[in-house]
Amino acid sequence: MPSKHTYTNRLRLLKYALILVFAGMQVAGGRVQAQEATITLSYQQTDSTKTLVAIVKSDSGLVAGPEVHLYVKRLFGLLPVGKVVAADENGEAAIEFPTDLPGDKDGMIDLIAKIEGDEKYGDAETEGRVKWGAFPKIENDHWSSRSLSASREKAPMTLVVVSIAIIVVIWSTIFYLMYQLVRIKKEGKTKASTT
């Protein structure tokens, strides 16, 4: 029967062997280079649907499998749109685009299609611009009416009347106090001259 010392040596040897195997796998994994993939965009629109088709290609031809993410450029970042779609055997990933997403003043939307962290193809990205944005609805009806958020000449009448009344009361109080001070001064002089 082997001694306890022999078991610990074997365990130590096994531990070092596993460390070397995992370190070798990481070094070998670091040397593998991803193939370069490119994405081209095409836009398809019918009466009720808008579809973005991302075609994924590499040096060897069309690529099947990588997941394509669709984003819309917004003011403070990227807005994910639709579901993540894997490219089919023709290298195409068709993503439905929402019809109610607002664009800029001309209805233009900046699109970004990405392949993110794919093991075989790495990261790829392409941008496109299309006139698929919904025009923002601007209602100007309320600008002509009186409201608290309106400019000075369109302030609510009750606010104007109350603020003018407050100003008149304050200034009336100030003038009344000044009048009383003048009367006190005159009475003080008249009493001082009689005594």
Angle, vertex CA 73, rays to CA 137 and CA 61, nearest 5:
130
- Within this chain, do residues 59 and 126 fall inside the same structural domain, yes or no? yes
Same domain, 44 and 126: yes
Claim to verify: residue 163 and residue 107 sit in the same structural domain: no
Q: Which is nearest to 87 in space by CA: 51, 53, 45, 112?
A: 53
Identify the domain boundary among 130, 158, 181.
Answer: 130
Question: Can you give the pLDDT at residue 40?
Answer: 80
Q: What is the mean pLDDT of residues 23-31?
A: 53
User: Is the pLDDT reported for residue 70 higher than 90?
Assistant: no
The whole-number average pLDDT for the span 19-26 is 64
Give the pLDDT band of residue 180 (cuts 50, 70, 90).
Answer: very high
In this structure, the answer to whether residues 41 and 126 fall within a common structural domain is yes
Q: Does residue 115 lie in a domain region?
A: yes
25 has a pLDDT exceeding 60: no
pLDDT (tens digit, 9 = 90+) per residue, 77-89?
888 887 777 777 8
Domain membership of residue 173 (yes or no) is yes
Does any domain span residue 32? no
Q: Are residues 120 and 46 in the same domain?
A: yes
Residues 123, 93: one domain?
A: yes
Total domains in the fold of the chain: 2
Do 62 and 122 share a structural domain?
yes
Start-to-end CA distance of the chain, whole Å, equals: 133
Based on the fold, state whether residues 48 and 110 are members of the same structural domain: yes
What does the mean pLDDT of the chain come to? 79
In a domain, 6, yes or no: no
Task: Report which of residues 14 and 163 the model is more confident about.
Answer: 163
Would 153 be classed as within a structural domain?
yes
123 shares a domain with 187: no
Look up the domain containing 159 and give its range.
146-194
Assess if residue 9 is contained within a domain: no
**pLDDT of amino acid 31:** 45
Give the CATH number for residue 94: 2.60.40.10
Can you spell out the DSSP letters for the chain?
A: ---HHHHHHHHHHHHHHHHHHHHHHHHHHHHPPPPPEEEEEEEEE-SS-EEEEEEEEETTEE--S-EEEEEEEETTEEEEEEEEEE--TTSEEEEEE-SS-B--TT--EEEEEEEEEETTTEEEEEEEEES-PBPPP---GGGGS--TTS-GGGS-HHHHHHHHHHHHHHHHHHHHHHHHHHHHHHHHHHHHHH-
